[in-house]
Chains A and B, each alone.
Chain A
């Protein structure tokens, strides 16, 4: 009941004309980002983030969350009409959606994906409100020892659940932790790894790293060679699926929504994993699994519902525990820090207007998106005809502005370029940048809590085992590691046996 009251107050906050305008702007930008291949939601949010510095945190965060939701909506348009997924999470939609488009059912596929996304977004918003507030209430009991173990567990989960190659993901994470040590140390106030550069005394700014490794690196990769896309034409009257089709997809939408939300509550699993799992589940429960790949409408509804519910799911650990579940939520978390808010359970106590306003704004964002997306799909699809060669210089210009805005200095712009080169080569070598980004945020948090925990315990390490919650969290890390390592050992043994044979 209390949650509903809080949610109602959130609606009061987010229903101001300025906040609605910000939600609409975010939704519009997000849809464009989702449609245009080459720039993902994390990169766009990273680029937009410094521009929101001067804004009040609530409208700024409302704009960013609407942008994230919009990117998920928009991703389906390119997937269905051109077979080019604007986002990694839309790959499964492209598999079935494009086949449907070739059969003349592009409008139906787009309509069903929008309806599924809307349902998932609304369900996800309510689920987020209930789950995050309950979890935040529980985590208020956490002291420094628990927070240290929680951050550690969050990092391991991100690697084990989301990482394609665990070694490379771990390396990326450790490098991020290393970058987090740059700056003034909190114990003795010594400057670490600054080499006399005063700009580094406050540490490496998260925005600089994210704009370099996500923003510019992504642009560089897309700018290697341009794709010319020719989208199929869709008329407005074709966009509404029949009631029979909507009814036919009801269970698929519900399954996708549940999978997307639940999976993304676990740090490390983003919308991409959710949509793939949802696609796999649909194939398993389908009476005609052999038809998958030829244009199955339920699969489009399920995967699109999954990646929209995933957006809300990924915000559960971010709001309640202060742990980013994915690259995009890491950017949002970085945003919270930049706006001077302390991520974690205290956010619900210290800034209830902000948290509930942002959560409630996801409802508004979804309403704006369905109104914007259904009638405007033909218009958005025509955006694909704009040459990328005209788009990327504009993105780079905004990146320069963003980096400059961080500290009003050109040093940050130069540092962003260095990270862009690193990010580009990391992409080429299949080394994920997201763990590095998350570690840069969580590293100092980890170091601070380790310091505080040991200080309170007079250097006694057993504090991490004596406190039940901390011990449980450590136990989870050990169990996870054993499971993952045993799988790897088994795989290695299999390979050795194969080679021997």
Chain B
């Protein structure tokens, strides 16, 4: 956890610095009240102090049992997570082009087929079933107005 704390400390310092610089673009005080820059300024200062403390503590504290704990899972697990996120991002990007039901069907089929090793037929069947149920509930019954693709659905 020591390594994770260091990473979070550095990221926190970065966000604090960015927030501090941004807060200076706004007035710190209005006539009687705090201005738009007041809250971001104090957020930056507090986050900076906390991040510095977290970072400093990683050098000073006694090693604990959790320090040896691995932060990230094995490479293959991380790859699975990345693949799921990648497919989600791809689905979001393709939604306007393909339309909502087709994108969801393809997304589900891709997850089941590539990541879960289901047969292609089963994956497509599940994909169609999930998309149909979702479309029926949210578009047909609740008229949520999902993007329509080139197929008109």
Contact = CB atoms under 8 A, between A and B. Distances in A.
Interface string A212-234: 00001001100111000000000
Interface string A197-225: 00000000000000000001001100111
A108 to B, nearest CB: 37
A187 interface: yes
Interface residues of B, number: 65
B119 interface: no
B121 interface: no
Contacts of A294: none
Contacts of B50: 167, 170-171, 174
Contacts of A421: 85
A285 B126 CA distance: 53
A187 B134 contact: no
B145 A408 contact: yes
Contacts of A394: 108, 130
B147 to A, nearest CB: 7
Contact of B91 (A389, A400, A498): A400
Contacts of A420: 85, 88
Given A171-B50, A420-B85, A178 B36 contact: no
Contacts of A404: 144, 146
A178 B15 contact: yes
Given A175-B47, A495-B62, A223 B34 contact: no
Contacts of A238: none
Contacts of A389: 112, 115-116, 118
Contacts of A367: none
A168 B62 CA distance: 18
Contacts of A168: 5, 8, 54
Contacts of A170: 46, 50
A181 B34 CA distance: 13
Interface string B10-48: 001001000100100011001111111001100110110
B53 A178 contact: no
A347 to B, nearest CB: 26
Given A389-B112, A410-B92, A495-B62, A223 B46 contact: no
Contacts of B152: none
Nearest to B5: A429
Interface in A404-435: 404-405, 408, 410, 413-414, 417, 420-421, 424, 428-431
B153 interface: no
A5 interface: no
Contacts of A451: 33-34
Interface string B55-98: 00100011000100001110001101100110011011001100
Interface string A389-405: 11011101110110011
Contact of B134 (A225, A401, A429): A401
A188 B112 contact: no
Contacts of B34: 187, 447, 450-451, 454
B142 A393 contact: no
Given A410-B96, A451-B34, A459-B32, A393 B73 contact: no
Interface residues of A, number: 60
Given A190-B26, A405-B144, A178 B77 contact: no
B80 A223 contact: yes
B104 interface: yes
B4 interface: yes
Contacts of B44: 178
Contacts of B57: 167
Contacts of B8: 168, 171, 429, 431
B130 A397 contact: yes
Contacts of B53: 167
Given A192-B26, A405-B144, A390 B126 contact: yes
Given A390-B126, A454-B34, A224 B77 contact: yes
Q: For the complex of A and B, list the 5 residue pairs with the smallest distance between their C-beta atoms, beginning with the closest.
A: A459-B32, A185-B36, A429-B4, A224-B77, A389-B116
Given A51-B142, A495-B62, 18 more contacts: A178-B15, A187-B33, A188-B27, A192-B22, A223-B81, A224-B77, A225-B73, A389-B115, A389-B118, A397-B108, A397-B131, A400-B88, A400-B104, A413-B92, A413-B95, A429-B71, A443-B39, A454-B33
27 contacts: A167-B53, A170-B50, A171-B54, A181-B39, A188-B35, A192-B22, A192-B40, A193-B22, A225-B73, A390-B126, A393-B126, A394-B108, A394-B130, A396-B107, A396-B111, A400-B92, A401-B138, A405-B144, A408-B145, A417-B92, A428-B72, A429-B1, A429-B8, A430-B4, A451-B33, A458-B32, A495-B61
